[in-house]
Amino acid sequence: MNHTASLDRTRVVAARNAVFVVFALAGIAFASFAARIPDAKAALGLSAGQLGLTLFAASAGSLTALPSAGRVADRIGAARTVVTGVIVSFAGLLVVAAGVDLVESRWVVAAGLYFVGIGVGLWDVAMNLEGAAVERLLGRTVMPHFHAAFSGGTVLSALVGAGMSWAKVPLLAHFGGVIVVASVVAAWALRSFLPRAVEAEAELTEAEVARPVKPRSAWLEPRTLMIGLVVLAAAFTEGTANDWISVAFSEGYDLPRWAGVLGLAAFLSFMTAGRLLGTRLLDRYGRVPVLRVTFVMAAVGSLMVIFGGTVLAYVGAAIWGVGASLGFPVGISASADDPARAAARMSVVATIGYTAFIAGPPLLGFLGDHFTVLRSLMAVTVMVVLAMLVIPQTRELRGVSTEAEAKVSA
């Protein structure tokens, strides 16, 4: 039975709006702890290296969940998978808060972050699958705006976190409030997700149906691997700021911790703006020129944060945010240019990219112990150089169109 044909546009628009909300809530959950990293570091007396190893736990949790997240969503549906991710990640946040406020143990914090990572991994895959299904049913590109909603949620959460840090609110009270509000909003939004039968039909492309033989592994395709390196550099550029920019501001420029969180908020705000406005530039100029400019902006912005002094550092954080806005989503889009191989290639590219979230925190922590956290941000420039060498591999494939493009032209 064709469930898609019987679904009216109002229902699809409602699902689209629900996906926006769920992406924004994911950003809020993610940035809740990121905004309090300086407070946690100070409360536990951690060195930069110890903090890096502690943050590593969240990345390990995500990589534990990611390989099976797609199968879970396929079996129980996107909405139930998001619910599972919400429950696990919020439970992890409470453990993190208890580790800081009650027992003052970085091992308890690491355990909590591991479960946060598992929950976020499930949540992330499920909401992206739902977003892809909605995009196909609408017949036009909306995925970049979903990711902008995520970034917008991180901005709001960072600003709230700055206020909580300034007011010296305990993490348990802060995270508890976030969990209550976000849980209520998530329960309301998830009611509008697509029925499971419709999700399954929307996820099945004609190219997948018509594929005659099993192709070779995407891990053996040079273009796919090069795109993976672009995403790796983009993830490192973005993740470094998420984890370390607030600490770098507060320690490098001797600022209050809440002022350091404002540096993170500046980065996230302009990254959100870059994702909202960047789609027009991509359509007009193509991926390669836009990515070259934005990666250079990320390098320039990070150098301004390191060497510019207090005022220019905030400007640099904004420029860095714009520079980090498009690398990851464009790399994912490039891996999916051919619908027949999109799933396999996207899996490879995402796996390579997520390596940055595992290697990044301990690497920056090691460098921070030896050269200060502020100077350790020079690693971003090195990653930009790597990205510049392989950006041409993201160029649009000629003669291949997505299902959404076909619907628009029909």
pLDDT tens by residue, 192-241: 998 876 655 555 544 444 445 556 777 788 998 999 999 899 989 988 99
320 and 303 in contact (C-beta within 8 Å)?
Answer: no
CA gap 212, 340 in Å, rounded: 11
CA gap 344, 214 in Å, rounded: 11
CA gap 264, 318 in Å, rounded: 9
Higher-pLDDT residue of 75 and 100 is: 100
- What CA dihedral angle connects 204, 333, 324 and 23, to 10 degrees? -20
247 and 257 in contact (C-beta within 8 Å)?
Answer: no
18 and 192 in contact (C-beta within 8 Å)?
Answer: yes
Please report, rounded to a whole number, the percentage of residues in the chain having pLDDT higher than 70.
87
CB neighbours of 171 closer than 8 A, spacing ≥ 6? Answer: 36, 39, 40, 96, 97, 100, 101
* Continuous H helices in 35-166: 37-44, 48-76, 78-101, 106-138, 143-166
319 and 300 in contact (C-beta within 8 Å)?
Answer: yes
- Give pLDDT tens digits for 172-194: 999 999 999 999 999 999 999 98
CA gap 365, 272 in Å, rounded: 26
- Give pLDDT tens digits for 35-57: 898 899 999 999 888 888 898 89
- pLDDT of residue 3 exceeding 60, the answer is no
CA gap 300, 361 in Å, rounded: 21
- pLDDT of residue 288 exceeding 70, the answer is yes
Q: Which tokens go with 146?
A: 């979903």
Q: What average pLDDT does the segment 129-156 reach?
A: 80
* pTM of the full structure: 0.73
Give the torsion sign (CA, 232, 236, 237, 238). positive
Per-residue pLDDT band at 399 (split at 50, 70, 90): low
- Long-range interactions of 208-214: CB distance < 8 A, separation 24+: 208/339, 208/340, 208/343, 210/340, 211/340
- pLDDT of res. 201: 57
- pLDDT of res. 255: 92
- pLDDT of residue 403 exceeding 80, the answer is no
CA gap 266, 148 in Å, rounded: 15
- pLDDT of residue 21 exceeding 90, the answer is yes
- pLDDT of res. 128: 76
